[in-house]
Amino acid sequence: MRILIYGAGAVGSIIAGKLFEAGTNVTLLARNERYKQLSENGLQLENILTYEKNIYRVKIIDVLESEDQYDYIIVCAKYQQVDSILPSLKKNNSTTIVFAVNTPDGYDKWAKIVGSERVMLGFPALAGELTQDKVRYFVSSGVQRLFQSTTFAELNGSTNSKRLKALIRLFKRAGFAPVITKDMDAWQKTHIAVIVGISNAINNFNGDNYALANSKESLQKLVLETRKMMRLIQKNKIAIVPSRLKFYYLPMPILTSIFKSSLGSKIGEYGMAKYAVNGKEEIRQLELAFYQQMK
């Protein structure tokens, strides 16, 4: 099985490294300075929890040619980058394109351009930061999956397709704990409600998740902002997916205790604060797009 990871930022690099480690035939598409780094020094990952360091000699390309053939192209890009990627995906002949991209907009545009039969959807439960030529990361497990699990879906909501099951097996072998959802659009909108609330709160503290963790008032505001966005989702007759995220309606003292613990940790730093700071523009655009959708 041949896999292309389209995008060599932190998320794409982590997925490529873990799949490669599990014996998958992986190619990673990178551009400019990142392409040069990877070509010269290999794909370097460091686990922030175990401190394990690895260098993977993954195949690197900088252009997707129309004749290149992969079993899956997994797109790891920011929300605002996808439009520039779609033309090259359209020209390519690979049969399955998995968009692992934050979006509240639905998938009609992607399906129209590349073909609905080629579109799959997903999002990984991991986090990391690219510094110089190394990615420091972790893959979510245990209680961390309360907030997010690696999730995949078919565009039509089917949970039984061969390619979906094959993708799940692929990620399980690579050490993820993937799940399937019938409604990725609802999952995405719910996910954005969660990350916007957390990210805005962190950025109000200039990226200091530890200071936020010790501000009870700010943690309460975080919860209230997320609840506001979730109510809009439900007002638009969209479900909260996964349903366990309804834990946001637990009593406030319980929630502030949960966030105090999760934000005041290395997981909070790398899983929430690093993204909040480095992804500030994406978060801003996602929030604007969310409110445009949720009228």
Q: What pLDDT, on the 0 to 100 scale, is given for residue 52? A: 96
**pLDDT of the residue at 244:** 92
Does residue 280 share a domain with residue 194? Answer: yes
Domain boundaries, position 90:
2-182
Q: Looking at the structure, do residues 44 and 176 belong to the same domain, yes or no?
A: yes
Distances (CA, A) of 71 to 35, 150, 179: 23, 20, 20
Statement to judge: residues 214 and 270 lie in one domain: yes
Tell me which residue has tokens 């030529």: 133
Residues 164 and 256 in one domain: no
- 280-293 vs 184-203: helix axis angle to the nearest 10? 130
Q: Which of 182, 209, 241 is the last residue of a domain?
A: 182
The reply to whether 219 and 80 lie within a common domain is no
Nearby residues of 54 by Cβ (< 8 Å), 6 or more positions away:
17, 21, 44, 45, 46
**Average pLDDT taken over every residue of the chain:** 95
Query: For the domain that residue 40 is a member of, what is the CATH number?
Result: 3.40.50.720
Report the alpha-carbon distance of residue 120 to residue 190 in Å, rounded: 19
**How far, in Å, are 34, 120, 181, 232 from residue 238 at the CA level?**
39, 20, 14, 9
Q: Where does a domain end: 159, 182, 205?
A: 182
The stretches in the chain having pLDDT less than 50 are: none
Residues 6 and 21 in one domain: yes
Residues 86 and 192 grouped into a single domain:
no
pTM: 0.96
What's the pLDDT at 146? 57
45 and 173 in a common domain: yes
* Residue in the structure block whose two tokens are 């200071």: 211
Distance between terminal CA atoms of the chain?
43
Q: Tens digits of per-residue pLDDT, 34-73?
A: 999 999 999 999 999 999 999 999 999 999 999 999 999 9
Query: Does 22 lie in the same domain as 146?
Result: yes
Among the three residues 119, 147, 182, which one is the final residue of a domain in this structure? 182
How many folded domains does the chain comprise?
A: 2
Q: Are residues 178 and 193 in the same domain?
A: no
Q: What is the pLDDT of residue 140?
A: 79
Phi, psi of 160 (to 5 degrees): -120, 0
149 and 71 belong to one structural domain: yes
Compute CA distances 292 → 64, 201, 265, whole Å: 33, 21, 34
Say if CB 100 and CB 76 are below 8 A apart.
Answer: yes
Q: Would you give the DSSP letter of residue 58?
A: -
The answer to whether residues 84 and 38 belong to one domain is yes
C-alpha distances (whole Å) from 211 to each of 108, 127, 187, 226, 260 are 41, 20, 29, 20, 10
